[in-house]
Structures are given as structure tokens and as C-alpha cells.
């Protein structure tokens, strides 16, 4: 009988909004990592056991993302990753636990990103805030427009 090593693979796709502007950290070898967080929110109907009343509920999952790139690409990519931007990120997820402020164990999802796609610009300002920013322009992966200065 021949023993063959079977490789496993994990690919995770997350579509969500950036929670803050991306930050770039540099390494001694010239490479860089872009760090950002993505929130994925699922909305669903919840039924009360006693009254039968249906209410809308939502659950948000946060992913701490790390995207390792060379120095030139990092600067170009990071300038597009702003708080509120809708992105699609693909990569390998790793789950860990850490002790929270109140002493309880808190889960943390880390995504080692292999691909980033911009789906829309930052969300428009909420009512009552500055309206000087224009509405986001959608950049679709199915668009025929070629953005030559976008490095991904």
C-alpha cells in the first residue's frame, strides 16, 4: 500500500466594511504588512418564545486582517483601505482566545489575506454630520474599467 500525503487547504472569503483606516508596518527586509479590521454583519429574524413576536436581530463578526506585501505595493494599497470602505478579502483564518478586560475569554479571528478587492468607497456620513463628502463610487470586480494605479 502506498501512503500519499494529502494536503489540506482553507480559503475564507469575507465581505464587509473596514472598521478603521489601514496601518502599514515595515520589516527590516523591506517587506511590509498592512493591518486592518473588517466587520461582517448578518441580519436575521428572531422569534420570541413567549409572545411569538418577530424582531430583526443582527450579529457582527470582526476579522483582524494582515496583508503582507512589498514596500511599493503596500503604500499604494493602504491609501484605498479607509474606514467604512466595503471590501472583499480572501485568505486563511486563524482563531485564538485572549483574556478580555473583565477576565473572560474572548475569541479573536485573524485573517491572513491573500487577496483584497474594493467593492465600494467609505459609507456616506450619517445625518447630522458633515455632508461635504460625496457618495462612494462603486468599484466592481466585474467592471470593465481598468484602474492602472490600483496595485491589486
Residues listed for the chain: 152
Is 0.85 surpassed by the pTM of this model? Answer: no
Q: What is the rounded average pLDDT for all residues in the chain?
A: 80
Residue 127 sits in a domain whose CATH number is 2.40.50.140
Print the domain residue range for 25: 7-45+55-152
Q: Is 81 domain-assigned?
A: yes
pLDDT class of 127 with cuts at 50, 70, 90: low
Listing DSSP states for 4-47 in one string gives -PPP----EEEEEEESS--EEEE-TTSEEEEEEEEEEEEEEEEE
Count: domains in the chain: 1
Question: What average pLDDT does range 1-18 have in this prediction?
Answer: 83
Q: Is 2 domain-assigned?
A: no
Question: Residue 126's pLDDT is what?
Answer: 61
Burial status of residue 11 (CB atoms within 10 A of its CB: 0-12, 13-18, 19 or more): exposed
Phi-psi domain of 30 (left: phi exceeds 0; alpha: psi -120 through 50; beta: other): left
Question: Residue 73's pLDDT is what?
Answer: 76
Contact status, residue 119 vs residue 140, Cβ threshold 8 Å: yes
Q: Is 50 domain-assigned?
A: no
Amino acid at each position: 500500500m502506498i501512503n500519499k500525503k494529502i494536503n489540506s487547504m482553507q480559503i475564507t472569503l469575507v465581505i464587509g466594511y473596514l472598521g478603521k483606516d489601514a496601518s502599514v508596518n515595515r520589516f527590516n527586509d523591506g517587506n511590509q504588512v498592512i493591518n486592518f479590521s473588517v466587520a461582517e454583519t448578518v441580519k436575521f429574524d428572531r422569534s420570541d418564545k413567549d409572545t411569538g413576536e418577530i424582531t430583526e436581530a443582527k450579529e457582527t463578526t470582526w476579522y483582524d486582517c494582515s496583508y503582507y506585501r512589498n514596500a511599493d505595493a503596500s503604500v499604494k494599497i493602504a491609501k484605498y483601505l479607509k474606514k467604512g470602505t466595503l471590501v472583499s478579502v480572501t485568505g486563511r483564518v486563524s482563531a485564538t482566545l485572549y483574556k478580555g478586560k473583565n477576565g473572560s475569554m474572548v475569541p479573536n479571528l485573524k485573517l491572513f489575506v491573500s487577496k483584497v478587492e474594493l467593492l465600494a468607497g467609505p459609507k456616506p456620513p450619517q445625518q447630522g454630520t458633515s455632508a461635504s463628502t460625496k457618495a462612494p463610487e462603486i468599484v466592481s470586480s466585474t467592471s470593465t474599467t481598468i484602474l492602472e494605479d490600483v496595485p491589486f
